[in-house]
A and B are shown apart, each in its own frame.
Chain A
Amino acid sequence: MIYREKVSVISNTALTDDIYDLKIKTENIANDVVPGQFINLYCNDSSRLLPRPISVCEVNGDEVRLVYRVVGEGTKEFSLLKAGDGLYATGPVGNGYDVEYLNKDFKRAVLFGGGAGIPPMVELAKRLTIKTDVFLGYRDVLFLNEDFPENVNVYIATENGSTGIKGNVMDAFKATGVEPDLICACGPMPMLKAINAFSSENGIKTYFSLEERMACGIGACLGCVCKTKNTDEHSKVDNARVCVDGPVFDSEEVIL
């Protein structure tokens, strides 16, 4: 069930130059959130019509934590929000991860997060009860790397080598020799493609959180589709809606 409600800002702070940490208080949205889902935030400036889909980083009671990158005018507006401000939201949206199934059917998970794809991995890591390693990729400045639960190992890769391994998350992963039977990944497309090549070669169950430009954000407009290997049950063609059929897809189902 997707709710529309006016949410209030608890806090909104900068983690880096362009990454912000927004905590909102919700009436209903927080209750139903599962990791991997997102919330649509609507600008208060009515000339910006479309909602901005932002993945859920953490949920605590009626509070939702959204960590987002400022990329345009809409997210710039969000970056100026202050405690007590209100804005409209719809959510939670999307399938999210079936954590119960993952905990039951798998023994060792590796989570990959690249840049703005890191936030959804925090709540996922909190809910996984199986042995979990997390690989985070950054350009240079770190964020959220200290927000993962204590029982997971966090490995870092930076493009300039300022922290952790110089290179990308696959370089960091391969250096550890960890052998997962489950991979969950969110991040830029080149990263997802590299992970896809590795996991299909090694037969590892892999889920991707995909991103696409959205309009309605609730499954009606067919703006945000991704290509699927087989005919999708809803669309009857070889594509699926990222917003409500995803954003989490089995790597076997989609063409990146």
Chain B
Amino acid sequence: MSTIDLSVEIAGVKWKNPVTVASGTFGSGMEFADLMDLNVLGAVTTKGVASKPWKGNDTIRVVETASGMLNSIGLQNPGIDTFIDRDIPFLEKYDTVKIVNVVGKTIEEYVDVIKALNSQPVDMYEINISCPNVKEGGIAFGQDPRAAADVTKAVKEASEKPVIMKLSPNVTSITEMAKAVEEAGADALSLINTLAGMKIDINRRVFTLANKTGGLSGPAIKPVALRMVYEAAHAVDIPVIGMGGIASAEDAVEFIMAGATAVSVGTANFNNPQVTVEIVDGIREYLEKNGVGSVKELVGII
């Protein structure tokens, strides 16, 4: 067991294993700390943080769908000042890579958050240009390769840490987006964010979500996510963090074989707050059983 190497390296940052959590499903980990050991994670990826507090969308914000769910939280967050005062000291207690997810309505807002975080004990930034639930920022940058490249360049220029660009599946060509941010200087990619979706309450004859549309996540989207991770990973030379419906070690290994260096677990945390522990153990068991010494050997073998 001790001979198995689960570690991976992304943009010069070493993770003890390839498992992180998808932004927005885990807060900064505080609410999960009673239920699991955060030290088990290769990395914690925080809920998106903006330069100022954001109040998010009206309720109803979440609804279950077949093997999935829709959400339209609208990137509610307490702002960078509170995040630095409260969330970072909490995360510092844990031996795991700290990835801060950054959101903004303008390029300047992304840059402001990055500048505030550069001196903080965090390891990487994940730039959210793919949230389907806010009009400004988010998806506005995530569906146009030139706009995505502009954000990437500005963030890279301001950043003293590696930058992961988080891509949306709601695009015509994922490879075009992947290449655009790679050329603009991104150190890594993460994908996919949620797929734009909708649900109608036929008894009340209204959209179930107050925002009308929301982002679909969960096992329902896994085949789509896997295909897109495969395509993106084969289009670029930078590492890819794969996500979208991962709920088991088998799912995680599929994404790794498709080309992901690491994986994020999102909605599955809601179904079982200890699922990431099971996934890390399950990847180790898979490697042992198949005589694979290092998880890195599986990356992109398909």
Contacts and interface: CB of A to CB of B under 8 A. Distances in A.
Interface string B266-298: 011111111000000000000000000000000
A128 interface: no
B61 A224 contact: yes
Given A47-B66, A51-B270, A237 B54 contact: yes
Nearest to B55: A237
Interface of B: 24-27, 30-32, 34-35, 47, 53-56, 59-64, 66-69, 71, 73, 76, 78-79, 82, 218-219, 267-274
Nearest to A74: B64
A113 B73 CA distance: 30
B31 A216 contact: yes
A46 interface: yes
Nearest to A46: B271
Contact of A49 (B53, B61, B67): B67
A212 B59 CA distance: 8
Contacts of B78: 234-237
B73 A4 contact: no
B62 A221 contact: yes
| Chain A interface extent, by class | 35 or more
A220 interface: yes
Contacts of B267: 49
B56 A224 contact: no
A50 B25 contact: no
Main secondary structure of the interface of B (DSSP, over half): loop
A215 B56 contact: no
A216 B35 contact: no
Interface string A41-76: 010001111110000000000000000000000100
A49 B67 CA distance: 6
A134 interface: no
B25 A220 contact: yes
Given A220-B26, A237-B56, A49 B271 contact: yes
A223 to B, nearest CB: 4
A227 to B, nearest CB: 9
A213 B66 contact: no
Contacts of B218: 49
B88 to A, nearest CB: 15
Interface in A181-228: 212-226
Interface of A: 1-4, 42, 46-51, 74, 88, 90, 212-226, 234-239, 244
Given A2-B35, A47-B66, A48-B64, A221 B25 contact: yes
Given A49-B69, A216-B31, A239-B76, A223 B64 contact: no
B225 to A, nearest CB: 16
Contacts of B67: 46-47, 49
B59 A225 contact: yes
Contacts of A222: 47, 56, 61, 73, 76
A219 B35 contact: no
Given A50-B64, A223-B62, A215 B31 contact: no
A234 B76 CA distance: 12
A216 to B, nearest CB: 5
Contacts of A88: 272
A223 B27 CA distance: 12
A213 B61 contact: yes
Highest count of chain B CB atoms <10 Å: which of A2, A225, A226: A225
Given A237-B53, A237-B76, A239-B76, A220 B59 contact: no
B76 A219 contact: no
B71 A223 contact: yes
A90 B31 contact: no
22 contacts: A3-B34, A47-B66, A47-B219, A48-B64, A49-B267, A50-B69, A51-B270, A212-B59, A212-B60, A216-B270, A217-B270, A218-B35, A220-B26, A221-B62, A221-B73, A222-B47, A222-B56, A222-B73, A223-B62, A225-B56, A235-B78, A237-B56
Contact of A216 (B25, B76, B219): B25
A225 B274 CA distance: 24
Contacts of A51: 270-271
A235 B50 CA distance: 13
A221 B56 contact: no
B31 A4 contact: no
